[in-house]
């Protein structure tokens, strides 16, 4: 009983239950605020709008999180008798000093907001930075994370925004070179390629500007025909794979031969 009484006396102290209440309130407000931000912002008519709004959600969630941290700390300090008003005044002076010491961090914060307001890129866009190309998977106030096609993740400070090239907000031109045996008539091959192009236009992301451009070159064992597929940047690699499958299936149906290198071996024979 004595132990229980000690525990109850300890819990009943303002500094103890007040601390628990402040932490719980901070946690609840953060999660409710995050849910509210998601509901207000995440809806969008187009995929680009949805990606942009998702980026704004991530950014606002970060800002909201840090604001909650600051208010919780101030309430806890006030609970323990610290003069928070004097502290805030002191922090203002300290902030000016720290601003000089952490100029790069401040630049990152400002650039993070600028990225959103000026539509540099959003989560889900494909970007290039110093020959590193990948998808933007996360964007915070200080840095942006890019994931390459090999799974590598690069973290870039937001202040380097001028060095990042957004390749998602323009269409891609995918050139597909198709080798065909010399003995096949050009008319037959071109008819098959136009059939392939019609099928390709049914693929999501392929634009009507896609076209067959003609014969590109002559190799040692094949005539090279070329298709130019105009499509969205995000899924250009999958689109190319899908079209290559259509080409193979169509060529098999039309009995069009795709040549491959062959080696003739002569043994104990005069050539």
Contact 127/47 with Cβ under 8 angstroms? no
Question: What was the pLDDT predicted at 38?
Answer: 67
Q: What is the pLDDT of residue 188?
A: 92
What is the CA 113 to chain-centroid distance, rounded? 17
pTM, 2 dp: 0.48
The predicted pLDDT at position 72 comes to 81
Place of tokens 């079209």: 243
Compute how many other C-beta atoms are within 10 angstroms of the C-beta atom of residue 128: 14
Report the CATH number of the 2-101 domain. Answer: 1.10.287
Q: What average pLDDT values come out for the chain (271 residues) when binned by 10 residues? A: 62 68 81 72 57 67 77 77 67 54 63 67 81 83 83 86 76 88 91 92 89 90 92 83 93 86 57 49
**Whether the Cβ atoms of residue 132 and residue 154 lie closer than 8 Å to each other:** yes
CATH class entry, domain 172-254: alpha beta
Give residue 243's pLDDT. Answer: 93
Q: What is the pLDDT of residue 257?
A: 84
| Structural domain spans, the chain | 2-101, 172-254
> By CB neighbour count within 10 A (0-12 exposed, 13-18 middle, 19+ buried), where does 225 fall?
buried
């Amino acid at each position: 009983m004595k132990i229980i009484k000690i525990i109850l006396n300890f819990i009943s102290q303002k500094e103890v239950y007040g601390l628990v209440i402040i932490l719980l309130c901070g946690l609840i407000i953060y999660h409710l605020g995050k849910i509210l931000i998601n509901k207000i912002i995440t809806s969008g008519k187009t995929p680009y709008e949805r990606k942009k709004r998702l980026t704004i959600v991530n950014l606002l969630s970060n800002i909201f999180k840090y604001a909650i941290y600051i208010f919780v700390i101030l309430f806890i300090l006030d609970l323990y008798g610290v003069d928070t008003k004097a502290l805030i005044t002191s922090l203002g002076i300290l902030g000016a000093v720290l601003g000089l010491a952490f100029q790069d961090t401040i630049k990152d914060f400002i650039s993070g907001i600028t990225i959103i307001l000026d539509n540099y890129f959003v989560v889900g866009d494909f970007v290039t930075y110093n020959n590193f190309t990948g998808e933007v998977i996360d964007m915070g106030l200080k840095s942006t994370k890019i994931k390459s096609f090999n799974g590598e993740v690069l973290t870039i400070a937001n202040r380097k925004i001028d060095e990042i090239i957004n390749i998602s907000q323009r269409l891609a031109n995918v050139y597909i070179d198709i080798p065909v045996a010399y003995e096949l008539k050009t008319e037959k091959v071109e008819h098959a390629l136009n059939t392939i192009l019609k099928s390709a236009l049914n693929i999501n992301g392929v634009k009507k500007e896609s076209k067959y451009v003609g014969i590109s070159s002559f190799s040692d064992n094949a005539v090279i025909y070329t298709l130019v597929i105009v499509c969205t940047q995000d899924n250009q690699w999958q689109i190319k794979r899908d079209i290559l499958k259509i080409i193979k299936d169509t060529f098999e149906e039309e009995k069009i031969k795709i040549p491959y290198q062959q080696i003739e071996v002569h043994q104990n024979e005069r050539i």
